[in-house]
Structure 1
Amino acid sequence: MPVWLREFRWRQTPAAVYLSLPLRGVRATSANIFCTDQYLKVSVPPFLFEAILYAPIDDTNSTAKIGNGTIFFTLYKKEVAMWDYLTLPNANKEKLQYLRENAVLKAHEKAKEETEAKKVTKQEHKKYTLEATMKLEEAERKRIEGLKEKERQKVTKELELWRKEQKDTEKQKRVQKEEELHQEVEQLKEKKKEEINKAEIPNEGTSETRLKPTKGCASFSMFSENVKEERLPAPRSAATIKVNFTPRVFPTALRESRVAEEEEWLRKQAEARRTINADLSELEDLKEEEKNPDWLKDKGNKMFATGNYLAAVNAYNLAVRLNNKLPLLYLNRAACHLKLRNLHKAVEDSSKVSRTMKQLSRSILKIKL
């Protein structure tokens, strides 16, 4: 049983009450204190102190200290006034019980409000932290983009400078080649003139003279005519030229075709033929009922009902290979993929259902027309 602490000392000012509880024979290091605006309870085993205060106090700013075997309270009043008593006089048990319960309820409400306030503060802190993190990430992203842009501009300038240097180098080489070609042409002209001059000059010790052209007549020289006849090339000999053509699948000429695209198309066609041949070899080993798409669809439905979704998918796959014009097969397989959380395949099969229905509707319209 707790020992009720009846001895206490108190004094007051218009703004505060100073209460001291002596703990005789007990060295108190901690105490269980419960305080509301008009209720105070202190538990220091084996002592227990309880008081219904005369007027409301500010329990938030009030303080308590333990030292030298005494608990000292500083209770700040809500209204500046002098109290006649520390506790309510003539408080019966019913009123005391009511005030105690009311104090406990107020304490619970206050704790709940504090918890909600802490939760709101925590959420605000999280929100602030998230916003700060987003701002930092945005700043970092902008910084990285700025660095990338600077690097891109630097590389672009270097590339342009390199291209300019290449153009200048090519231009210099072209001019040099033109000059060399011009020099070679001049040299050939000089050689040709020297050869013509040598051909027209008569040999020493001969009586041949150069005929000078008269007015109205063209120049004529037998020596030059003989030289020209000697320079004529011999007639070409007859021969047969054989032209070999590379065999091609496409009828277009090689210079007009796209070789890479044509080879890719041929490769895909070969793979498709191999796949079809493999599928046909696999289908030959099946039983007669297993070659029926309706039987496979019913089997897949039974497996789906029992929860064996993988087996149902395999049954629907085989049925689709046998007949890919049935929309219900794609729809059932999409349901299986949805159960297995294969969302991309479920969306793909659903799209195939819509395409198949459109094709069927077009076929029906053509038949009616």
Structure 2
Amino acid sequence: MPLLVTDYSWTQTESTVYISVPLKGAKAGKVDILSTDDYLKVHYPPYLFEAFLFEPVDDVRSSAKVGNGVAVISLPKRSNKEWEQLMITTDDKDKKKEIREKALLKYQKTLSSDSRSKAEKQQAEKKYALETMMKLEKEERDSIQKMKDTKREETTAELAAWQQRLKEEAVEEAQLNPQSQSDNQTEKRVKGHSGGGKVKLDQRDNSEAKSKKKQADLPAPRYAGNIQVSFTPRVFPTALRESRVPEEEEWLKKQAEARRAVNADVQELDDLKEEERNADWLKDKGDKCFVTGDYLGAVNAYNLAIRLNRKIPALYSNRAACHLKLRNLHKAIEDSSQALDLLTPPVAANAAARARASVRRGSAFCQLQLYAEGLQDYQAALKIDPSNEALQADTQRIRDIIQGTAAATEKQ
């Protein structure tokens, strides 16, 4: 449970409210500030400062400076008048919860819009860079092609000039010595008739010798054969003689049913994108939202995934973790119990998931001061993972609380 900060200070002018919150040794990077028009939150674990503002402010122009052990938040007023007090005076928890949830939803939409605009800007920059690179590459290709064309034309012109020069020299030689050329041609024809047969025989002999040499160099063909190898089909890492086959087969059957299970009520989901109809994709989205601290967004993702597939225990267990963060303790107990019901029969493949669900339900019981029920869940988790030092310490702490309560009751 967070510790509420009460030693803050604030000042105001007709146009702006200034709030100073001491950070109590927290680093600047670990301070989470959320500001809307009627709500302000400064969170640096384990401390929390909340302000339900007396009048609306301009959250677009609001700013915060963190340093020297203090966070100073500047909130421009929407109306130029002095406030009677900083916060509204009401003990209506439902009203405060409504203001808080509206602020979180507005902050989530702002983050989503900023992320979308940032992605669009990056996409535009990538597109511009790609177009520029393609333009430069095209200019380079055109330049190279122009150089090739010029070189080809020059080579063609030189070849044509050389051929023309050879023709002219041949014509001049024929005109100067016609009789000598005729005798040379006759001599070539006679030599060709006398030596042609011998050349052909030599070529045939060489070809046959090369063919025989290649056949002699070839290795003998290998004998063909098949080797039959059989493996024992096993999904779990334990040896067959050490495992519990019926429980493991039942767990695998449940997993297969979970992969095939799809809610029949699909008409309400026609407006969703294709990836948003995938329970695994929604689970990954919820996990990412949880890591970034967007617990409401994670709950929404898990809710939609559960509507699509009610057989995946991780969806209920992860939603229970979100409810713990949002202090929805009874819902956390319900989701953890549902996850444990789906994580049956108990096998090695779901041991870690059963331990997590037990710890989350036990934590919710303890926060509701139901320590006996919480101790049972922590002991169940410790039985699964007996070497976990953190679990050992938490279980002992709950025992101490129960023993201390019992001792105090006996004294009374």
TM-score range, shorter chain: 0.3 to 0.5
TM-score (norm 2): 0.38
- Structure with more helix by fraction: 2
Bigger-Rg structure (1/2): 1
TM-score (norm 1): 0.42
